[in-house]
Amino acid sequence: MRPSLECAACVFTWVYERTASHVEEAMRPRLSEAITLAVYFRPETENIGLLCNKAVYSAGDIESSRYAFYAAFKQRSNERAATLLPFAQKYIEGGETEKERIERACVLAAASNVAPLLAPAATFTFQEAIDIMEGRLSAVVMGDLYETVRNGRRVLYITDNAGEVGFDSLVLKALKGAGVQVTLVVKEDPFFEDVRMDDVDYFHLEELVDEVLTAKGFFVSGEVDARLQSAYLGCDVLFVKGTGGFEALRGETTGKKAVFMLKVKCGPISRDIGVEQGRVVVMVEG
């Protein structure tokens, strides 16, 4: 996705909020300057995912003394999600057809995308997913999701945040049941509240996929190692979680289907897909 002018301010805030609190106060002006230089861009050529990666790694040691905070935060969010998974599985199984069950799994995964644009301060509670299961909230589904799943033999599944990855496991089960080969992509250590190998282990996701690969920061085609790039080139369909994944891959997957699962959190995305802010969206592109 190409950025609008307001995206630079948003990227700056996203990175600064997550990094400034774990550097000495005297270092914060230098941090601010480094991030500001990193988010300089030309809207017609820059990819927002790449822009975010530049900004994150301009900040240097991105977790350092806050590693304990993010580790504990991720653990609490994973535990919260785990308590909801039996109810979520029952909700999915209540679908009358395979099509409805796959759609329900993807909708819950999208509804779990609750990380704020500012740094998280409280454990994710996944109220939107609860509201969907209890009939108080609906999602927007755009495109033929079921046909995309049925026609896809090799899926690259790009994760977003800890906690919500528990809901991703519901989609992974559905894909496995449909006979799809899945490569799961998580981030390398360290990366704030995002999914990494410890979260894969927590939910035993290795049992639901054929391979787990790691990316340094947001996945951007051509900016990853050879093994991950090969997995991308060899896949038929991408399943992409979250705002960052949407920004990195929207309009960038020529020749491949992409299923984006997210909550619309900002004006540029709202305008791009024609859905108001705050809505839960599952969108098929391609």
Nearest to residue 265, comparing CAs of 251, 280, 250, 252? 280
What does the pLDDT look like over 157-205, one tens digit per residue?
999 999 999 999 999 999 999 999 999 999 998 888 999 999 999 999 9
Q: Is the model's pLDDT at 42 over the cut of 90?
A: no
- Pairwise pLDDT comparison (7 vs 133), residue with the higher score: 133
CA distance 33 to 11: 13
Q: What is the mean pLDDT of the chain?
A: 90
Unique residue bearing structure tokens 């996929």: 209
What does the pLDDT look like over 219-257, one tens digit per residue?
999 999 999 999 999 999 999 999 999 999 999 998 899
Q: Which range is most confident: 20-29, 117-126, 225-234?
A: 225-234
Cβ-defined contacts of 36-42 (< 8 Å, 24+):
36/12, 39/8, 39/11, 39/12, 40/8, 41/3, 41/8
Query: 3-state secondary structure string, 181-208?
Result: EEEEEEECCCCCCECCHHHHHHCCHHHC
CA distance 226 to 212: 14
pLDDT band at 60; cut points 50, 70, 90? low
Q: Yes or no: say if 77 and 68 are a contact pair by the CB < 8 Å rule.
A: no
Pairing assessment for the beta strands 257-263 and 280-285 based on DSSP bridges: antiparallel
CA distance 248 to 53: 10
Q: Is the model's pLDDT at 17 over the cut of 90?
A: no
pTM: 0.92
CA distance 39 to 6: 11
Under DSSP, the state recorded for 43 is T
Q: Is the model's pLDDT at 127 over the cut of 80?
A: yes
Element (H, E) at 156: strand 154-158
Q: Which two tokens stand for residue 279?
A: 């809505």
Output the pLDDT for position 157. Answer: 98
What does the pLDDT look like over 72-103, one tens digit per residue?
999 999 999 999 999 999 999 999 999 999 99
